[in-house]
Amino acid sequence: MSPQVSTLVIAIDPASAVAPFEQVRTQIADRARDGALPVGYKLPTVRGLAEDLGLAANTVAKAYRALETDGVIETRGRNGSFIAAAGEAADREAAAAAESYARRARRLGLDHRAALTAVENALRATYGAGA
């Protein structure tokens, strides 16, 4: 097994309106998504990362729980937390959510255009106006 060359660098902006746990969650998720943290990369312990960042352990634990819920990381008990092969899981979850939405929109009586417009509006609200 080759040594890991990636390192986890996280910057917390204490002046940000974004909660520290969300800053940790977002930065790890973004790095996992763009491949900077490869599948199988072992994350620091909750306590270790909290100490490095000057945060409470509960803050980092909350970020790790959210990442695990999102399928970005997997925890292997005492062995630690690792970047998961989340691409396929995320695609499956998004497809299931889209199917559920489509069925609900149809039950509500929305036509195809109205259902699609609602999705586009939600995406713009979530991802920003350029989405």
pLDDT at position 1: 43
pLDDT at position 130: 66
Return d(Cα 67, Cα 73) in angstroms, integer.
6
Return d(Cα 25, Cα 101) in angstroms, integer.
26
Residues in the chain: 131
> Mind listing the pLDDT tens digit for each residue in 88-130?
666 777 888 899 999 999 999 999 999 999 999 999 998 887 6
pTM of the model: 0.67
> Mind listing the pLDDT tens digit for each residue in 46-89?
999 999 999 999 999 999 999 998 889 998 888 999 998 866 66
- 45, 80 Cβ separation under 8 angstroms: yes
> Mind listing the pLDDT tens digit for each residue in 3-24?
445 678 999 999 999 999 999 9
75 forms beta bridges with 81
